[in-house]
Structure 1
Amino acid sequence: MSADWLRPLGTTGLTVSAVCAGGGPLGSMPGNFGYDVPAQRGIDTVKRVLDGPISFLDTSNSYSGGESERRIGAALAQAGGLPEGFVLATKVDRDPSGDFSGPRVRRSIEESLERLGLSGVPLLYLHDPEHIPFEDGMAKGGPVEELLRIRDEGIAAHIGVAGGPVALMERYVRTGAFEALITHNRWTLLDRSADALLDAAVDQGVAVVNAAVFGGGILATGSAGSTRYAYREAHPEVLDALRGMEQACARHGVPLAAAALQFSIRDERVASTVVGFSRPERVDECVAQARLPIPEALWPELDALVPSGDRWLY
């Protein structure tokens, strides 16, 4: 791989690949992705990741009720553990009742470690804190304080925050508590909501991990394959922009999916870009898309087609 394939993850001291394997589809999430993933295929996909050039894998306690972590754990057991230098990240989540207290954060990581077959993880995120008030998240005895305690105990080497609404994510980034940020669906060819958030993270020395660059699939399949962006029906203006981008990519001989992926990879503020995998061959396809030469002239054409800001997620 080229020298810029491996990158520093902010100030953590960790080195990660430009593409991070996303564990969302691994456990089978048909409600989000529209298809089932058999258990063995999920395990085989993780094994392919562990054997290839991607050295960063992201999952969560809540993905498919823990099934993503179980399949990753099975693959790790077969591989004899995490390869040297490989960065595995998971996330602490609310329980099904909505509890996101400090004690719940502790239970969440304990559940994850049992599924993964590990005693600790290199990176642990607070996941989707938009479900509780910011003040509750930062309260004494609350989830952030417990996450910091987990890091201090060495169970997680580094901690981050992962979520949606950009204004809220910036509040968390600016607390100084976190070393990494995941933003999703908000820094893509079709949605630029996270621009200021990325600047804030860089300003705070927080590593940026950009997820869902295909907007839930539409920027991978194109307009013929989907009418949904970020797991909901897309506005007609967004679909019109997508069709224009497809045409621009076709003129330059570039697959839309490669442009969508490299839009994120080429941004110097982004340490790694999360792509969800559900089959082994997709790992190699994605690496090829990441390395495909793209004419510089394509980027301003795509920028000119971005939907108006009132269509972005924020």
Structure 2
Amino acid sequence: MGEAFTFASRVGFGASGIGTLYRDVPEAVARDTLATAYDAGIRYFDTAPLYGHGLSELRLGQFLRTVPRDGITVSTKVGRYLVPPRGSPVDYGLWASPLRLKPVFDYSYDGTMRALEQSASRLGFPDFDVVYIHDVDRYTHGPDGFERHFDEAMAGCYRALDELRRSGEVKAIGVGVNESDIATRFVEAGRFDVVMIAGRYSLIDRSAEKDLFPAAKKAGTGIVAAGVFNSGILAKGPGAEGATYDYGAPPSDVTRRAEAIAGICAQYDVPLQAAAVQFPLRSPLVRAAVLGMSRPERVAQNLEWSRLPIPEAMWQAIDAAL
């Protein structure tokens, strides 16, 4: 395998927020957030059909069609396509104000092509930079369902994406999951350019170092770090009310680890959030870190954290504490 895919910026814009993850985001605010990110130099934008049930792709495409396409990296995901509910119930989950469409899991070859046709219509692009196979993991499908979907994804999604990569319609293909052992399994089963791993390579969870990183290094596969705040505990701080870890109450050992790291950051007068943003980017295997942003002021804050000078001694102290 050749050199890993290079992203147009190392800090990526995670577009789940403009798909109304957790809270409604008015159209004008979404547009201003994207414009702020672009004007500040962010050139990697990541989305998915799931995000706002198509709303994220729609909004992202509307904005990106107003700026030069060259020099921008755009990634989306496959594994779901969207259909009108036609009277059937729809679980809108964490999305506050999504499009009224129903996601359908489909990791087959035809389902992959259908998903990409829909994404192309929403984004307004005939081709893609990166396409990830999305959510083939135990968290989404359970232990038994995962095995079935893994086999389906390799026979369907992977075959379709590999064909599109060879034809030049997709520049890079990858997998986006929350569990590092599953990401490792994909890397060992096919030829993937990149892996997006959420929450498993962060200040308080480095589990991806044990399995995914050695496999990715051997295969020449790049890593994209997502979930760098572990859903909230590193953004709000371990003592904050409502702080979550992987969308739930933090286990006591995680809280203790976060408190220890926060204490070290305080000694060096470095915000915990800045350390969380910069930590994954210190690895030569990590090609980009994707940060969720849904307000213009959050863009500025994330970029400030990403650029803040952090002494090497602080990283050494954190390593020693863990």
TM-score of Structure 1 vs Structure 2, range by shorter chain: 0.7 to 0.9
Select which of 280, 283, 288 maps to 1:267: 283
Residue 20 of structure 1 corresponds to which residue in structure 2? 12
Q: What's the offset of the Cα at 1:219?
A: 0.5
1:38 matches 2:26: yes
State the AA in 2 paired with 1:98: F
Describe how 1:14-163 pairs up with structure 2 within 5 A.
14-30=6-22, 35-77=23-65, 79-82=66-69, 84-95=70-81, 96-130=103-137, 131=141, 132-133=146-147, 134-139=150-155, 142-163=156-177
Residue 229 of structure 2 corresponds to which residue in structure 1? 214
For residues 52 and 274 of structure 1, the distance between their equivalents in structure 2, rounded to whole angstroms, comes to 15
Asked whether the 8 Å contact 1:45–1:280 carries over to 2, the reply is yes
Q: What's the offset of the Cα at 1:66?
A: 1.0
For residues 6 and 281 of structure 2, the distance between their equivalents in structure 1, rounded to whole angstroms, comes to 18
Q: What's the TM-score, normalizing by structure 1? A: 0.86
Q: What's the offset of the Cα at 1:199?
A: 2.2
For residues 12 and 199 of structure 1, the distance between their equivalents in structure 2, rounded to whole angstroms, comes to 15
For residues 290 and 99 of structure 1, the distance between their equivalents in structure 2, rounded to whole angstroms, comes to 37
- SS of structure 2 residue aligned to 1:216: helix
Residue 199 of structure 1 corresponds to which residue in structure 2? 214
For residues 185 and 270 of structure 1, the distance between their equivalents in structure 2, rounded to whole angstroms, comes to 13
Residue 248 of structure 2 corresponds to which residue in structure 1? 232
Select which of 253, 259, 262 maps to 1:243: 259
Asked whether the 8 Å contact 2:75–2:131 carries over to 1, the reply is yes
Q: What's the offset of the Cα at 1:81?
A: 4.7
Structure 1 residues 15 and 183: CA distance shift in structure 2, 3 A: closer
Residue 188 of structure 2 corresponds to which residue in structure 1? 174
Q: What's the offset of the Cα at 1:154?
A: 3.1
Percent of aligned pairs with the same amino acid: 37
For residues 38 and 151 of structure 2, the distance between their equivalents in structure 1, rounded to whole angstroms, comes to 39
- SS of structure 1 residue aligned to 2:216: helix
Asked whether the 8 Å contact 2:79–2:157 carries over to 1, the reply is no
Structure 1 residues 40 and 93: CA distance shift in structure 2, 3 A: farther
| RMSD of aligned Cα (Å) | 1.8
For residues 305 and 115 of structure 1, the distance between their equivalents in structure 2, rounded to whole angstroms, comes to 47
Q: What's the offset of the Cα at 1:13?
A: 5.4
| Deviant stretches of 4+, over 6 Å | none
Q: What's the offset of the Cα at 1:225?
A: 4.6
State the AA in 2 paired with 1:168: I
Question: Gaps spanning 5+ residues in structure 2: where?
Answer: 82-102
Moved more, 62-71 or 86-95: 86-95
Q: What's the offset of the Cα at 1:149?
A: 2.2
- SS of structure 2 residue aligned to 1:53: coil
Deviations 1:150-170 (A, max 9, x none): 323433222111112212211
Question: Gaps spanning 5+ residues in structure 1: where?
Answer: 1-9, 307-314
For residues 111 and 20 of structure 1, the distance between their equivalents in structure 2, rounded to whole angstroms, comes to 23
Asked whether the 8 Å contact 1:90–1:123 carries over to 2, the reply is yes
Asked whether the 8 Å contact 2:5–2:193 carries over to 1, the reply is no
Residue 185 of structure 1 corresponds to which residue in structure 2? 199
